[in-house]
Amino acid sequence: MKLYYFSAPWCGPCKVLGPQMEKSGLPYTKVNVDSDTELSTKYGIRNVPTIVKVDASGNEVDRIVGNKPITEIKAWYNG
């Protein structure tokens, strides 16, 4: 499993979550919704921050929308 972390430079909650994601040790790719519209469209991103869990084929398994505690995100990822 891998994660896409959809974010934007102008997003206040993203500024809070971003540093937590960096320190989390989770296998994620940060995606700027303003510059990477292809991935944002593929996964139907309407709000940021959004974290999408995908399988090895890139199919969406689950998602979290909004700023959540990193402990909750880790439990969700491992669950």
Catalytic residue annotation:
11, 14
CA distances from 5 to 15, 26, 28, 61 (A): 12, 11, 6, 14
Residue for token digits 């934007």?
8
Supply φ then ψ for residue 73, to 5 degrees: -65, -45
Q: Are 7 and 48 in contact (CB under 8 A)?
A: yes
